[in-house]
A and B are shown apart, each in its own frame.
Chain A
Amino acid sequence: KAGVTQTPRYLIKTRGQQVTLSCSPISGHRSVSWYQQTPGQGLQFLFEYFSETQRNKGNFPGRFSGRQFSNSRSEMNVSTLELGDSALYLCASKIRVIDTEAFFGQGTRLTVV
């Protein structure tokens, strides 16, 4: 069974640009969560999607948004990139929202220059 797949693995963008990251959950998993990992702030929750609906949202500005498609694949978008957005963006999937075990992908390393 394939794990959580995130694309691309690495990305370099210029300040002010926008970026879209993609996450394909494990087959059969319908809940997808996004986390930002930085050396200074650690792992922080961005949002969770289930059945194409955002179920929960962390404390991030509106520049961070996401969506989920009918096949459970999810994308997150960051607009007007800032240097501080440089981070590893991780996606985690679960079968259902109430499930406890979340399976993480390898992440997308975003560098903003």
Chain B
Amino acid sequence: QQQVKQSPQSLIVQKGGISIINCAYENTAFDYFPWYQQFPGKGPALLIAIRPDVSEKKEGRFTISFNKSAKQFSLHIMDSQPGDSATYFCAARSNNNAGNMLTFGGGTRLMVKP
């Protein structure tokens, strides 16, 4: 059961353009929403993250927009660069007394054309 749905699966953007990746979740108990960037042959690396009590978070060219009522969040990459070409995963953390775990979206393969 996929609890975090991510779209699109792939995205091609021109250099300097805006890349937008969307995620939707079902479990209202999720308490932390990170985005990970993964290059071929590497493990995922945390890019930016947000908590559900915040509607937007910006770090450099990367912005997360969060809509709690719609249970959706998105990643915006401004001024996209060829070096941003990678696979991006949204995730959501569930936290209980036993521990916590990340549920990942299916991933978006971003290609930024020079």
Q: Which A positions have Cβ atoms within 8 angstroms of B? A: 4, 33, 35, 42-45, 48, 50, 55-56, 58, 90, 92, 97-98, 100-107
Taking residues whose C-beta sits less than 8 angstroms from the other chain, chain B's interface range is: 20 to 34
Closest Cβ–Cβ distance, residue A7 to chain B (whole Å): 14
Instruction: In the complex, identify which listed stretch (B18-26, B40-48, B75-83) lies at the interface while the others stay far away.
Output: B40-48
Known contacts A100-B34, A101-B49; decide if A45 and B44 are in contact (CB<8 Å): no
- Whether A33 lies near B43 (C-beta < 8 A) is no
Closest Cβ–Cβ distance, residue A66 to chain B (whole Å): 13
Q: Which B positions have Cβ atoms within 8 angstroms of A? A: 32, 34, 36, 41-46, 49, 89, 91, 93, 95-96, 98-107
A33 to B43, CA, bound (A): 13
Chain B residues near A55: list those with CB within 8 A: 98-99
A77 to B6, CA, bound (A): 30
Known contacts A4-B43, A106-B41; decide if A97 and B100 are in contact (CB<8 Å): yes
